[in-house]
Structure 1
Amino acid sequence: MDTLSTSALSMANWIASPNGDRAPTVSSPTKTPLHYLTGLYNYWQNISGYHTSRTSRRHRGEASQATDEICYLVILPDDVNLNILSYLDASSLCRLSQTCSHMHRITTDQLLWRQRLYHDMITFQTLDHLTHPSVYEEVESDLGYKEIYARCTTMQTMVRTDRPFTNGVSKMFRSLTKRFRSHLPRVVMFGSGLESLPLVRNMLWEDASPYRPVKLFPGKEGIGSGVCVRHRNYQDVNLITLYTSTRSERKSAASNGVQAVNKLLSVYGDDKELTPAVQELCATIDAYIFVVDSGKALTDGLESDNEMLSTMLQCASHDAPILVWACTLTKGQQALPAVEVANQLQLMQLTHLWKVQSIDIETFSGMNDSMEWLVKCCE
């Protein structure tokens, strides 16, 4: 029996044991389960080659040699196979499904792909109203979980490459009319992350930022003023920032252990609504960017942010898209996953188009594509 077949059979015996603690009989008892999984995975990758070799030898009349190369993975019970396959990533499952009809059947199991989907979606850097798994479950879609996984992960695997002539020039000409049209997209940026992180400063002045300030424009009654920023792909956007209070007021409140008064809201007992000035502003807004500190939200949650977003959207146009930037201060900082941000903000209940994008304000990763999505929704 060859080494790979021996490793596979040993792994099968070890997994099939009642307590899962019996060491394989043909290997050292000091080996870890990961060692056997690795050996078994290498065996799977060679299944196709062994099958071809076995077939050719059978055609040459060497049936005795072919008998020694039986695929032991095929003879395992389905529940044991599914237990083993749950350790593989999506790409490995797809490759394994191409080896034979039996493995194709096993690797398309619905529960296997549902587990893989909910395991991997916490790593998604972006999520929107079309790629959240709940979209398909709530409408009882006829798609299997493998197909749902593929649709939900399409945005994660796409890499946008701008060729210097084809894409770059076409975008320049396509945006010329946008730059000179009478109405540029008016986008309001607000949220607790806007006040706790130096996002605006980095966007306007850092070299790595995809935006450059063009001009300032005034507001009305002390609200609604902002800056026109130019995207590196020649798109201009009127960006309006709304703060609940001034920086000095927030510092003073923090030193006294209280929360600063939110000047965007009018409070009537237990009811809260936007001030008339903010309501008038919202009537002129094309899109919204809601900024959350996803690093802080990992421990504190987003309950207050959800309340603020819901209040702001009461006066928003129903066709205004919502872009949520889940920001961290540095790359690699532990943060609330994008899917959890969407769930805690209850974005699935909105009638607006929405998108969540994880961003670290040090490198601005993800900001470019998400802003292009927002501008496109405004067209």
Structure 2
Amino acid sequence: PDVDAERDEPQLEYLDSLPVDLQFLIMTFLSPVDICKLGATSQYWRAMVRDPLLWRYFLLRDMLQWSSIDHLSMPDLELLDAPLVSEDESLDDREEGSEKDREFKFDYMSEYMKGCPSCRQKWLPSRPAYKLVTSFLHYLVPSSEPRYAMFGPGMEQLDVPLVTRLTHSPDLLPVSIPHRQIEGIGSGLSFLFNNQHKFNIVTLYSTNRAERERARLEQQSSSNKLFSFVGSDNSGCPVYSPSPLVKQVCHVMDGLIYVSNAEPGKGDEKTEMAQIKAMLNCAENTTLLVLSCVSREQEEETSTARSRTPCVYVAQRLGLSQLSSRWMVQDTVAESLSGFMEGIAWLLRCSGVKLYGR
């Protein structure tokens, strides 16, 4: 009987007997789901898996791979720069402090759960926020086609032109060729999403095609006809005002699509932030989709070198957390249009469109 009792002892006892540093090392190889399961086995492991150092490690490791982030899930990146122990506080003081205080100051676990895409899916509403219209009234009330204005350096600086790829996409059916040219810097496009929902995109370029191509080849910036420089604010950041025609366009848009150049080393932080704010000021209570765009997929043999700026850092660079509007950053590849459909789906849902099967 004694032998049987020893055989039936929980296997976790071996893990319990290991030094704490080895326990933490083992936990770094587990997924967050497995970590939570481990925490349900005993009070000891419940306390261990909530350690802020562990979840800080998970956050630093995994957020670089997240393909999207939004106004509800953006982690507080300032926590990652904050020391776990202040200068006037010793490690012994931290041990003597209450668990509640430690969780309040360093709740990396909550930040991770809030931002992780797989965790976010569990919090999506099962029903649309708006009331359903009866089938009879549905045919009486004509459905409006959402309209979005697309702009940003990613439309002009990448080797693969995003808009050209959109017009030839088999998944996103173009139902209308470019029309209504806007002073040589923009045009309107109509698309059919999921073979069901029609929407319109107004493309806004900084200048005409010839000047854009010359600036791209010479790796220089061209004069921007969408905005005029007004001055600088109290913090020294530039202030821009959209042109009168762009203001008229923004007033009738249901949302904005900003195409950011996510290739490493690209982007002018202060200019981009100022121009996004200028557009949002013209389009009140609108939503903002940021396509964090690169030209091509990363090749396997060059996987050691990062081929794009992670979406959380794109959101930080653009100062999106300071905005009062709803926003989302979606990783996108111009050549394959990977991620574009996911971003448009979010934008359509924000416009009140019911997407079946998503």
Matches of 1:205 and 1:305, distance apart in 2:
29
8 Å CA contact 2:227, 2:275 repeated in 1: no
Tell me, yes or no, if structure 1 residue 274 matches structure 2 residue 242.
yes
* Corresponding residue of 1:325: 291
- CA separation in 1, counterparts of 2:10 and 2:244? 82
Secondary structure in structure 2 of the residue aligned to 1:291: strand
Give the 5 Å matches for 1:5-16. Answer: none
By how many angstroms is 1:132 displaced? 1.0
Deviation at 1:257, TM superposition (A): 7.0
Q: Which residue of 2 aligns with 1:360?
A: 333
C-alpha distance after superposition, 1:259-300 (max 9, x if no partner): 3211112235665321111122211111000001212xx123
2:309 to 336, 356, 359: 336
Bigger-Rg structure (1/2): 1
Secondary structure class of the residue paired with 1:299:
coil
Q: CA RMSD in A?
A: 3.7
8 Å CA contact 2:70–2:328 kept in 1: the answer is yes
- Gapped regions of structure 2 (runs ≥ 5): 80-100, 123-133, 233-238, 300-306, 353-358
Please state which structure has a larger fraction of its residues in helix: 1
Render the CA deviation track for 1:53-112: whole Å, top value 9, x for unaligned: xxxx64xx6557679988343134545533442343323323433444433331232332
Q: Provide the rounded CA distance (Å) in 1 between the counterparts of 2:246 and 2:39.
A: 56
For the pair 1:192 / 2:163, whether they are aligned, the reply is: no
* Residue 259 (1) aligns with residue 221 (2): yes
Query: Partners of 1:307 and 1:86 in 2: how far apart?
Result: 40
Query: 1:223 touches 1:278 (CA, 8 Å); kept in 2?
Result: no
Gaps of 5+ in 1: 1-56, 160-172
SS state of the match for residue 134, structure 1? coil
CA distance in 2, matches of 1:109, 1:210: 45
What is the deviation of 1:150? 2.9
- How many residue pairs were aligned? 302
Residues 1:305 and 2:272 are matched in the alignment: yes
Classify 1:186/1:101 alpha carbon distance in 2 versus 1 (closer, same or farther; 3 Å): same
Checking the alignment, whether the CA contact within 8 Å between 1:178 and 1:235 is kept in structure 2 is no
Partner of 1:116: 58
Identity among equivalent positions (%) equals 30
Q: Which residue of 2 aligns with 1:236?
A: 198
Q: 1:373 aligns with which of 346, 352, 358?
A: 346
1:89 equivalent in alignment to 2:50? no
Task: Report the secondary structure of 1:314's partner residue.
Answer: helix
Q: Which has the higher contact order (CA 8 A, sep 6+)?
A: 2
The aligned runs of 1:45-84 (5 Å cut-off) are 58=2, 62=4, 71-84=13-26
Partners in 2 of 1:293 and 1:256 — Cα distance?
A: 16
CA contact 1:191–1:308 (8 Å) conserved in 2: no
How big is the shift at 1:131?
0.9
AA paired with 1:239? I
- Residue matched to 1:39: none
Q: How does 1:84-233 map to 2 (within 5 A)?
A: 84-134=26-76, 145-155=108-118, 158=121, 181=142, 183-196=144-157, 197-207=160-170, 209-214=171-176, 218=180, 225-233=187-195
Distance in structure 1 (CA, Å) of the matches to 2:35 and 2:196 = 42
Q: CA deviation at 1:198?
A: 1.2
TM-score, length of structure 2 as denominator length: 0.71
Q: Give the match's secondary structure for 2:58.
A: helix
**TM-score after normalising by structure 1:** 0.68
Q: Is residue 189–residue 242 contact of structure 1 (8 Å, CA) maintained in 2? A: yes
Q: Which moved more, 1:231-240 or 1:247-256?
A: 247-256
| Of 251, 254, 273, the match for 1:286 | 254
The residue aligned with 2:130 is: none
Which position in structure 2 is the counterpart of 1:314?
Answer: 281
**Contact 1:126–1:156, Cα closer than 8 Å, also in 2:** no
Check whether the contact 1:178–1:184 (CA below 8 A) recurs between aligned residues: no
Once residues 311 and 289 of structure 1 are traced to their aligned partners in structure 2, the CA distance between those partners, rounded to angstroms, is 14
The residue type equivalent to 2:261 in the other structure is: D
